[in-house]
Structure 1
């Protein structure tokens, strides 16, 4: 079992009587799923349907917390305030003390979580939740004080967790999980192209959200020409970006990688005859 301590220092808090309805009208997932014991994953798109932000959400009473990548906090905060208009909400940035990833087989049991996507608990020493995208990505831990951080480090020591971010990256790529920074997705990616439909970021039944029209049209028309896949080579290590060829034809390019595995945006009509193993394309 493994852990990694991120350099993350800020999350966003939205509170007020219109908090749920405000988010419901702009993000791709359904805020009605956001219970006190459940975290969800969602995105905020441009009106043209391209990805601007992705984030986890969890709720504590009348407060909703958005947990984006650190590089996206400022832009997301600005965008939320732009859309706020007359909504009776308060949007603020909240400092945190530390942020951990725990991952590996049955890792959730260490902190008393079930093997359930998005399960959330506020413990006496931290906020913890299973990653709602894919259970193989383990759990996330937010500490608000040095005291909480010390408690988590005691658990790391007692359970003999190994610090290894490379193992996390390997798991992310093998499960075809895009990363907005590493895969260069900001304002470049459509959700259906980059596997967001399969990592619990979209609710098709919730009603309108920003960028919905473009996203729904792509789904209904089946107009995708390229899609994100996990690829693997037994003969080389990948780079990113790197052109991917099959029978001397360019079929796509990598977006992020770890040694001999990578995420790659590939032409759908060019991969039908390529060998696959457990949904991984062998190049």
Structure 2
């Protein structure tokens, strides 16, 4: 069996009904209509201003009387996400349920498909480094891996966690790297916040991003301000060993690096990824 790591901070929402797929497809940043079995899509629900309310993974089970969609989402945001869906439901033939109490989310980092009995499973679409994700019924998984290993792999892949690396409700999808993590479909047509996302895609640069760094000594604590040349350019997020993520003004970072300055946080020098 693949090394299984329980992601205890994840919840599960179910959307069912004759119009379930159309309902979600018309709301979120990725294509749900073409979603097939043994696949999951990374997507987000945005505000009309284009900022991320919540990101999640969508699984789809097709049925003759309507589809069943399962959303692997942050446990802390399940109630808010359900409230938002209810607001948008209007006359759509859909129903929602919070299945978090009876299910759990498990990550398999060795790249092999899980051998355990799963409700749904698929490769993590954000990065091959993150292996497979699976939805399990509680009590059926033998997950016993070290969560710190998952966090280290997530950080190495440049994948932010909205609960620690950016503020839900405060950032645009490009700033959370969703354009680099297969979370945006630029051909699917309209959804909530789509016009703002499209405008950002056609800019020459995105000014802010969650970016990877390596610290030259012990990594600064989460929430440390990042400075370069005396200019405050952002704040650190999660870290594993010397590697971490920070939400920064990448335009100012590049400008000041070119001028010979070094970034630092809490007195620790930071080297940012060249692809920031």
Q: Same fold (TM over 0.5)?
A: yes
Give the 5 Å matches for 1:158-169: 163-169=145-151
Whether the 8 Å CA contact 1:41–1:57 is kept in 2: the answer is yes
Alignment-derived partner of residue 179 in structure 2: 197
Give the secondary structure class of the aligned counterpart of 1:198. coil
Instruction: Give the distance between the partners of 2:274 and 2:220, measured in 1 at CA.
Output: 14
Instruction: Give the distance between the partners of 2:162 and 2:53, measured in 1 at CA.
Output: 9
> Against the structure 1 CA distance between its residues 9 and 144, is the aligned structure 2 distance closer, same or farther, given a 3 Å change threshold?
farther
Give the 5 Å matches for 1:164-183: 164-183=146-165
Instruction: Give the distance between the partners of 1:78 and 1:144, measured in 2 at CA.
Output: 24
> Against the structure 1 CA distance between its residues 2 and 246, is the aligned structure 2 distance closer, same or farther, given a 3 Å change threshold?
farther
* 1:255 pairs with 2:259: no
> Against the structure 1 CA distance between its residues 221 and 17, is the aligned structure 2 distance closer, same or farther, given a 3 Å change threshold?
same
Q: Deviations over 1:243-283 (max 9, x none)?
A: 223344433321222232221122223333479xx98259x
Whether the 8 Å CA contact 2:165–2:247 is kept in 1: the answer is no
Q: Identify, as 1 or 2, the structure richer in helix.
A: 1
Give the secondary structure class of the aligned counterpart of 2:180. helix
Deviation at 1:173, TM superposition (A): 1.2
* 1:43 pairs with 2:44: yes
Whether the 8 Å CA contact 2:176–2:210 is kept in 1: the answer is yes
Give the secondary structure class of the aligned counterpart of 2:28. coil
Give the 5 Å matches for 1:120-139: 124-139=117-132
Alignment-derived partner of residue 119 in structure 1: none
Aligned length: 256
245-254 or 84-93, larger mean C-alpha shift = 245-254
Root-mean-square deviation (CA), in Å? Answer: 2.5
Deviation at 1:66, TM superposition (A): 1.2
Instruction: Return the TM-score normalized by structure 1.
Output: 0.81
Alignment-derived partner of residue 105 in structure 2: 99
* 1:185 pairs with 2:167: yes
Instruction: Give the distance between the partners of 2:151 and 2:7, measured in 1 at CA.
Output: 13
Deviation at 1:217, TM superposition (A): 1.4
Gaps of 5+ in 2: 263-270
Whether the 8 Å CA contact 1:127–1:142 is kept in 2: the answer is yes
Instruction: Give the distance between the partners of 1:231 and 1:214, measured in 2 at CA.
Output: 28
